[in-house]
Chain A
Amino acid sequence: MVVATQQTRISAGDLVQGVLDGQRLLLARTITRVENQDDDAAAMLAALYPHTGHAHIVGVTGAPGTGKSTLVTALARSYRHAGLTVGIVAIDPTSPFTGGALLGDRVRMRSLVGDPGVFVRSMATRGSLGGLSKTTGDVVTVLDAAGFDRVIVETVGVGQAEVEIASTAHTTLVVEAPGMGDEVQAIKAGILEIADVMVVNKADRPGVDKTVRALDMMLQIEGSGPRLIRHHGHLLRVETPAALAEDENRWQVTVMKTVAADGTGVSELRERIEAHRSWLQESGEMAIREQLRIANTLENIIRAELNRRILASLPAAKMDGMVEAIRRRETDPYTAAGEMLAHI
């Protein structure tokens, strides 16, 4: 059998045109090349970039088993009823041992198949740890350029510190379920701090009021003071625009109850997301977030390329020799790194 014949390879220009024309097969192929970081991916993203900025990007994150996929499905249906198109990126983990992945979010999304106003793509993390994969932001760019009104990004089931989604999304939902932890869990740092909207899903289960109360309490404590935003891996104290200093103009993070499986509370959640979108635009916060997001993207691109160049410029044979010398305890990793860097 013929393996990996290239006779059907579509040109980058045709792919870009296909994405802009709404051709789903070409959109899917473009995403593959972007995800694989093919040689022409950067050029394709560059050509698509001027067509972006239309989509509102909604991040959905939370622990495994809180019902993220079901909620994303319900939310997408709600947006469709409101006449908006939806692109979905659903991320599941890659096995660190085999490099393989089992992407199962589609099992919950079957009711979305066959709707031309919805496009669902599953992605594996491929070694990234922050809850997204390295190219998730680029795939969102492609879906944005393809004209989807809303792009929903569902992270892997995360724990307490995977907050990368906040620098990709405009509106971040943190999903909890009753009985997942006590009040101390709720006041720990990390994932709860990135929420623009808190969702307690599976609200038909016992313990829902206790969970809502714990989250409300945490939000009241956090309510005042200057805003901290994650930037370059550090939390950055951001000056609040004058208009926001007035308390009534600040965004209030609220706790919403949903039962995604039967749709309860989902249209209210959608309205809350849209209210956040309006607030971002009217308050000037959108410009700040876009700045942070773009700075983050730019820095990542530069860092990846520098990394590649530096590693390529290191003499491989010497590297192997160093590793062996360190293993024999003839030198140590810190001294060796210094010597290797002297080559640059």
Chain B
Amino acid sequence: MSEQKIRVLIAKPGLDGHDRGAKVVARSLRDAGFEVIYTGIRQTPQMIAEAALQEDVDVVGLSILSGAHLTLCPRVVELLRAQGQDNVLVLVGGIVPDEDVAKLKAAGVTGIFGPGTSTQEIADYIRQNARVAA
């Protein structure tokens, strides 16, 4: 009878309001069969971590176009781990310069998806790597 669904939180941290990308990704992940919780723009890392906890998601997807990814993303990972969500996959979509990719990965961001990524690619990545909630 058990029916497990992969749950994904899509959030836009920081101050840029360009949410087209986040909405396109949210919709395509819905079409891939996931339950997507969309939280909207101008979220603080605290708001994102708290929403991820209440919703018990398997994946947190952050959309950032402002250039503040090196500040915001590690903070989200830190807060998630601090509240005991060790297995949540943290992904970033948006504009990330090549030289920052290694820094984000070192901070615990596992997937980074830049311009030109197909939505199918993101869905496949999640399906292969998300741990269905224990």
A residues at B contact (CB < 8 Å): 1-6, 8-10, 24-25, 28-29, 31-32, 36-39, 94-95, 98-104, 106-107, 110, 113-114, 119-122, 124, 126, 308
B29 to A100, Cβ gap below 8 A? yes
B53 to A106, Cβ gap below 8 A? no
Determine, out of B63-71, B99-107, B125-133, the stretch whose residues face the partner at the interface: B125-133
Within 8 A of A (CB), among B23-50: 26-27, 29-40, 43, 46-47, 50
B1-22: CB near A (< 8 Å → 1, else 0) gives 1111101000000000000000
From A10, A122, A308, residue with most partner B Cβ within 10 Å: A122
Q: Which bracket fits the contact residues of B?
A: 35 or more
Does B112 reach chain A (CB closer than 8 Å)? no
Complex alpha-carbon distance, A5 and B134, angstroms: 8
Could you jot down 26 A-B contacts, CB within 8 Å? Answer: A1-B128, A3-B131, A10-B134, A24-B54, A25-B83, A25-B84, A28-B55, A29-B133, A36-B2, A36-B3, A39-B2, A98-B30, A98-B31, A98-B32, A98-B33, A100-B29, A100-B33, A101-B36, A102-B27, A102-B36, A104-B37, A106-B37, A106-B38, A107-B39, A124-B35, A126-B3
Main secondary structure of the interface of B (DSSP, over half): mixed
A24 to B26, Cβ gap below 8 A? no
Given the interface pairs A1-B128, A3-B131, A8-B86, the reply to whether A110 lies near B37 with Cβ below 8 Å is no
Residues of chain B with a CB closer than 8 A to A39's CB: 2
Residues of chain A with a CB closer than 8 A to B86's CB: 8
Distance in Å: Cβ of A18 to nearest Cβ of chain B: 11
Q: Which 4 A-B pairs have the closest CB atoms?
A: A100-B30, A28-B56, A107-B40, A9-B134
Residues of chain A with a CB closer than 8 A to B31's CB: 95, 98, 100
Q: Which one of B3, B33, B47, B85 lies within 8 Å of A114 (CB-CB)?
A: B47
Given the interface pairs A39-B2, A100-B30, A308-B1, the reply to whether A119 lies near B54 with Cβ below 8 Å is yes
Complex alpha-carbon distance, A224 and B134, angstroms: 52
**For residue B48, which residue of chain A has the nearest CB?**
A113
**For residue A305, which residue of chain B has the nearest CB?**
B1
